[in-house]
Structure 1
Amino acid sequence: MTEKLGVLLVDVPEPSMWEYTYVELDEDRGIFSVEDTVAVGVVSQFGFKCTQEEAQKYPQFRWVALEELK
């Protein structure tokens, strides 16, 4: 059985002009950044993907399974 992949979201105070604030990894440089978007497809494509178990290393972020993104 394969584990579900998800992305790390950042909870920001309301009001926010963005629907999603997420963690992105620049694999070429090995640098994480926080990005904003209103498009779920952008989060699915560019968000740092990890399992729920791996996400426990980053308790400051909220893990959401890819299929649960709306």
Structure 2
Amino acid sequence: MTEKLGVLLVDVPEPRMWEYTYVELDEDRGRVSVEQTEVVGVVSQFGYKCTEEEAKKYPQFRWVSLEEL
């Protein structure tokens, strides 16, 4: 069975400017950044993808499966 993939979201207090604040990995530069968008497709395309088990290494972020976005 294949494990579900998800993305890491950053919980931002209200009032917030953007719907989604997410972790993005730039593999070309080897850097991680926090990005913001209103478009769920951007999050699912560019967000750092990992399994729920891998996400436990980053308790400061909230893991959400791609299907739940």
TM-score normalised according to structure 2 size = 0.98
By how many angstroms is 1:42 displaced? 0.3
Give runs of aligned pairs for residues 1-70 of structure 1, distance below 5 A: 1-69=1-69
Structure 1 residue runs without a partner (length 5+): none
The share of aligned pairs that are identical, in percent, is 86
Structure 2 residue runs without a partner (length 5+): none
TM-score normalised according to structure 1 size = 0.97
Alignment length (residue pairs): 69
SS in 2 for 1:67: helix
Structure 1 residues 27-68: Cα deviation after superposition (integer angstroms, max 9, x where no partner): 011110000000000000000000000000100000000000
**Aligned-partner Cα distance in 1 for 2:39–2:29:** 25
* CA RMSD in angstroms, aligned pairs only: 0.4
Moved segments of 4+, more than 2 Å: none
State the one-letter code of the partner of 1:19.
E
